[in-house]
Amino acid sequence: MNFTAILIAALVVGVLGIVIGFFLGVSGEKLKVEVDPREEEIIGVLPGNNCGGCGYPGCSGLAAAIVAGEAPVGQCPVGGAPVAAKVGAIMGVAAEEGERMVAFVKCAGDCEKAKTAYEYTGITECTAMKYVPGGGPKSCTFGCLGYGSCAAVCPFDAIHVVNGIAVVDKEECRACKKCIETCPRGLIELVPYSAEYAVQCVNKNKGKEVMNVCSVGCIGCKLCEKNCPSDAIHVTDNIAHIDQEKCTGCGTCAAKCPKKIITGKTKEQALAKEA
């Protein structure tokens, strides 16, 4: 065995390692991107869910946007007002008070109220129903499919399927919008936490067609619209929708609705707790 050759090889490898290490160290200093220390501070106070509900790629993306002045200090829907106040303190600005938002499912067609066209056996995911005849076994092609794709993506366990329809627990909801993005029928929207009433239907068909598939669907009769004292509810494309900014919570629309499809959030919360 030639020990001289081994020694030379070891020296060459060692010297090469030192040279490469020195080169990488110098390059790192030359090419490193200066990070505003406030970014790290903001990341430290953000919830760390990385849910994307803020519209940015994770908490680090939001922190960078806030420091760059591209996002307000209260952009995190999960942290809410407490986190907004802490971020505002880091940035040296006052956090504006914002209305807490929660998800709301616009469907009341549960197993008793919504009719089914056929018995279905197969993949139980809402997102797969576009490949199934009629878009799924439920006769209403607008309503909740009830397979819980929205519940599966919720990082806060705030949405569950109860008796065939998705129901949001507004106490747990953090308005991350993942359920909204997942629902293939666009049934979920954000409404103020304080909202008194909302319409649980999106079926745009005419009254008779709606009644053929669901006993509680909106029939577009406009009684709610005609009787609302604050002009907060209007029927468009045969479906009623409440403007939450105008709604005073008087309950007139709910009282006048013949199908009782305009409901308070309290009912939805009760269903969630039963689950």
Domain map (residue ranges) of the chain = 37-91, 101-274
Alpha-carbon span 178 to 151, nearest angstrom = 9
Where is 166: in which H helix or E strand? strand 165-168
Q: Which pLDDT does position 47 carry in this prediction?
A: 87
Rounded to whole angstroms, the maximal C-alpha distance in the chain is 101
- Centre a 10 Å sphere on the Cβ of residue 187 and count the other Cβ atoms it contains: 23
Alpha-carbon span 141 to 145, nearest angstrom = 9
Q: Is the dihedral of CA 69, 72, 78, 81 positive or negative?
A: positive
Architecture of domain 101-274: 2-Layer Sandwich (3.30)
The stretch 24-30 carries a mean pLDDT of 65
The stretch 86-113 carries a mean pLDDT of 88
More confident residue, 26 or 255: 255
Q: What are the start-end ranges of the H helices in 116-228?
A: 149-153, 178-182, 207-213, 223-227
Cβ-count burial of 119 within 10 angstroms (0-12 exposed, 13-18 middle, 19+ buried)? exposed
pTM score, whole prediction = 0.73
Distances in Å between the alpha carbon of 184 and those of 23, 63, 198? 53, 31, 20
CATH of domain 37-91: 1.10.15.40
Nearest to 242 by CA among 190, 181, 183, 199: 199
The stretch 231-242 carries a mean pLDDT of 95
Given a cut of 70, is residue 27 above it in pLDDT? Answer: no
